[in-house]
């Protein structure tokens, strides 16, 4: 029993922490309160339990609320007895209840008992206020948890950006150091040209320029000759 209660508490804390559907959590609290207020061992409590299992809600929270309410419900027996006695002694309802108890199934509900009827009536009256209050409470908790998770995610993103900037700066500094080291090595390895080599390089460069100039002139002359031929052919055609 203790292990089962521990598992229920763990499921509820996990559901609240993960912000899963505050409406279902509130519905579980309201119906668990109704089940815990009604005394067990009758068709009324069994019907409420079957309704809880059939509906879409948080069953762990409903079970824990029912157990916690059942521990406190005996203290409310005087109030439940007064409410049930007031309803059963009402003259317009007396004949209705008298005919209902003669039915085969309704007699098993024990609603002719003042404590059972009073507890069921108090649970029905508290259902909607508890539902609205619990929904508001769980919605507020979910918003706070969402704000905390968003702030934590923003902090993690900022830390990632700072880490990436630090990595890029370190990579840039390493690249600069390797580049300067490479430049220094290349400057060390490049041999100095002597005056004789400079003269030969200059003469070769001049010869290359002269040959390129001659080639350009030859190409221009060939183009002019082609143009002259075309002009002569056109003049001959016009004359004929």
pLDDT tens column, 175-184: 565 555 555 4
- Tokens (6 digits) for 179: 């580049």
pLDDT beyond 80 at 193? no
Which of 87-91, 103-107, 211-215 is predicted most confidently?
87-91
pTM: 0.58
pLDDT per position as a tens digit, 24-60 = 888 999 999 999 999 988 999 999 999 999 998 888 8
Average pLDDT (92-105) is 80
- Tokens (6 digits) for 24: 């279902």
Let me know if 84 is exposed, middle or buried by CB neighbors in 10 A (0-12, 13-18, 19+): buried
Name which of 122, 94, 146, 150 is nearest 37 in CA terms: 122
pLDDT at 149: 61
Q: How confident is the model at residue 151 (pLDDT cuts 50, 70, 90)?
A: low
Average pLDDT (140-151) is 68
- Tokens (6 digits) for 145: 């948890």
Is 38 within 8 Å of 45 (Cβ atoms)? yes
Name which of 58, 116, 59 is nearest 87 in CA terms: 116
Is 127 within 8 Å of 90 (Cβ atoms)? no
* Residue the block writes with tokens 């009758």: 42
């Amino acid at each position: 029993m203790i292990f089962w209660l521990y598992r229920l508490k763990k499921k509820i804390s996990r559901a609240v922490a993960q912000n899963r559907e505050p409406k279902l959590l509130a519905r579980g609290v309201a119906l668990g309160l109704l089940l815990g207020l009604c005394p067990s061992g009758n068709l009324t409590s069994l019907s409420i339990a079957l309704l809880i299992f059939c509906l879409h809600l948080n069953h762990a929270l409903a079970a824990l609320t029912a157990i916690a309410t059942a521990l406190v419900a005996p203290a409310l027996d005087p109030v439940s007895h007064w409410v049930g006695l007031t309803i059963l002694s009402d003259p317009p309802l007396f004949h209705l209840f008298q005919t209902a108890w003669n039915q085969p199934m309704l007699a098993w509900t024990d609603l002719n008992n003042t404590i059972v009827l009073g507890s069921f009536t108090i649970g029905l009256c508290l259902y909607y206020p508890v539902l609205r209050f619990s929904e508001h409470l769980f919605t507020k908790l979910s918003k706070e948890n969402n704000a905390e998770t968003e702030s934590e995610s923003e902090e993690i993103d900022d830390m990632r950006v700072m880490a990436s900037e630090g990595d890029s700066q370190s990579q840039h500094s390493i690249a600069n150091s390797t580049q300067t080291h490479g430049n220094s090595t290349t400057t060390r390895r490049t041999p100095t040209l002597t005056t004789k080599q400079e003269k030969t390089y200059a003469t070769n460069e001049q010869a290359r320029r002269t040959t390129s100039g001659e080639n350009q002139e030859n190409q221009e002359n060939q183009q002019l000759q082609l143009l002259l031929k075309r002009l002569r052919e056109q003049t001959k055609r016009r004359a004929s």
